[in-house]
Structure 1
Amino acid sequence: MTLTDGIEDLATAAARGDRDARDALLAAIRPEVLRLCGRLLPNRQDAEEACQDALLAVARGIHRFEARSSFHTWLYQLTANRARSTYRSLRRRWLVEAGGVPLPDPPDPRRTSVVAGTRLDLLEALDAIRAEAAEALTLRDVLGLGYREIADLLDVPEGTVKSRIHEARRQVRRRLTDGDD
C-alpha cells in the first residue's frame, strides 16, 4: 500500500464519520496543503493562513467527499479555492488598514521577489475573471491536474473544461500584459 492509498483510505473512513481517521488525515495532508497554498500565495504567512483555513474546511466538509474523484483531486480544488479566498480576504483587510489606498501596481521589485510579484499579479487576474474559469485554470496550470480529472471534479464535460481554461488563459494573459480591463 502506498501513502496515497493510505490517505484515500483515511479520507473514505473520515467521510463516514470516523474521527480518528479524520484527525490522522488532517495530520497527513497538512504538508501537501501548505505546499499547494505556497504555490499560490506570495509569502509563507499567507500560505500558512490559507493552509489552516483549508484544513478546517476539510475537517468540516469531509462528509461531503463522495469519492467521485480521488481525495487528492477533491483536496486540490478545496485548497485552491481557500487560497484564493484567503488572498481576497487579505486584500480587503489591507485596503481597510491602508484607508482605501489600492495595492501598489505593479509590486515594488525592491520589496517583492519576482515570484511573489508574479503570484500577486496572477491572483489579481484570477480574481477579475469568472469564478468557473479561474477555478479550472488554477486546477490545470497551478496545481497540474489533468483535463479529465478536472472534468470529473467539476462535473462538467471535458470540452467545457478545455473551453474554460482557454478563455481563462486568454483573459489572464490580457490582464497581465495590459494591466487593466
Structure 2
Amino acid sequence: MAFRATDDLETMARTAAAGDPAAVNALLIAVGPEVLRVCARFLPYREDAEEACQDTLLALARGIERFEGRSSFRTWLHRLAANRARSTYQRLRHRFQNEASGRPVPDNPDPRRTSVVAGTRLDLLDALECLSPDLAEAVTLRDVIGLSYREVAGLQDVPEGTVKSRIHDARRRLRLRLSDGPR
C-alpha cells in the first residue's frame, strides 16, 4: 500500500503497527520534523536534539507494534520522544563525566558558554532526574510537551486525579530543586 503525505497519521500508525513496512517508512518520514521539535524542547544543542530524534525514530521503527491505540498516535509519539530526549541527556551527561577524568559535571552551567535558555533546560533535566519516573514523566508530558491531563492519564494508565496529584507533587519538588532549596 502506498502512502501519501496527506494520509492520516493515525491510519498510518495503525497500519504500521499491524506490520506494514511501507507504512512504517511513511510514518518515519511524516513524524521526523515533529520528533526533532519535541527533542529540541529538552536539549539545548541541536546536535543533541538530532541524536535524540534519531533514537526516537529508531525506537519507533522497532516498537511500533506496541502502539495499541489507547491514546492518539501523536500522544504516544510525544511520550516516546520525551523519554528518549531525557535518556539522551543522561547518556551525554554520563559520557561527559567519564571523559572529564572523574571530575564531576558542574552543578550549574558556565554562563559564559551556555545561553540562559540552554542553562534552564539543563537545570530542568537535572532536576527531573531527582524525581521518581512516574512524577518525571507526568510533569514532562504536561508541562514540557503540553499534553492534557486526560492524555497523560491515558498514557500512564491511571485516573486523571492521580495525574493531577503527581504533577502537583512534581512541580513542588522541581520548584524546590530549581530554587536551590532543600534537596
Instruction: Give the TM-score taking structure 1 as reference length.
Output: 0.96
Cα shift at 1:102:
1.6
Secondary structure of the residue that 2:179 maps to in structure 1? helix
Tell me how far apart the structure 2 counterparts of residues 64 and 158 of structure 1 sit (CA, whole Å). 23
- Write the mapping of 1:164-175 to structure 2, written as runs, cut at 5 A: 164-175=166-177
Please name the residue that 1:63 is paired with.
Answer: 65
Cα shift at 1:99:
1.3
Secondary structure of the residue that 2:8 maps to in structure 1? helix
**Aligned CA distance change for structure 1 residues 157 and 89 (closer, same or farther; 3 Å):** same
Please name the residue that 1:137 is paired with.
Answer: 139
Tell me how far apart the structure 1 counterparts of residues 111 and 55 of structure 2 sit (CA, whole Å). 29
Cα shift at 1:105:
2.5
Q: What residue ranges of structure 2 are gaps of 5+ in the alignment? A: none
Report Cα offsets for 1:114-146 as digits up to 9, x if no partner: 000000000000011101000000000000000
Tell me how far apart the structure 2 counterparts of residues 20 and 161 of structure 1 sit (CA, whole Å). 36
More helix by share: 1
Tell me how far apart the structure 2 counterparts of residues 93 and 41 of structure 1 sit (CA, whole Å). 15
Cα shift at 1:4:
8.7
User: What percentage of residue pairs aligned between the two structures are identical?
Assistant: 67
**Aligned CA distance change for structure 1 residues 5 and 135 (closer, same or farther; 3 Å):** farther
Please name the residue that 1:97 is paired with.
Answer: 99
**Aligned CA distance change for structure 1 residues 149 and 102 (closer, same or farther; 3 Å):** same
Tell me how far apart the structure 1 counterparts of residues 181 and 126 of structure 2 sit (CA, whole Å). 10
Please name the residue that 2:19 is paired with.
Answer: 17
Tell me how far apart the structure 2 counterparts of residues 42 and 9 of structure 1 sit (CA, whole Å). 33
Tell me how far apart the structure 2 counterparts of residues 54 and 171 of structure 1 sit (CA, whole Å). 28
Q: Which runs of 4+ in 1 moved over 4 A?
A: none
Please name the residue that 2:49 is paired with.
Answer: 47
Residue type at the aligned position of 2:44: P
RMSD between aligned alpha carbons? 1.3
Residue type at the aligned position of 1:28: A
**Aligned CA distance change for structure 1 residues 61 and 4 (closer, same or farther; 3 Å):** farther
Tell me how far apart the structure 2 counterparts of residues 146 and 126 of structure 1 sit (CA, whole Å). 19
Please name the residue that 1:26 is paired with.
Answer: 28
**Aligned CA distance change for structure 1 residues 128 and 42 (closer, same or farther; 3 Å):** same
Tell me how far apart the structure 2 counterparts of residues 85 and 160 of structure 1 sit (CA, whole Å). 25
**Aligned CA distance change for structure 1 residues 91 and 165 (closer, same or farther; 3 Å):** same
Equivalenced residues, count: 179
Q: 1:74 aligns with which of 73, 76, 93?
A: 76
Instruction: Give the TM-score taking structure 2 as reference length.
Output: 0.95
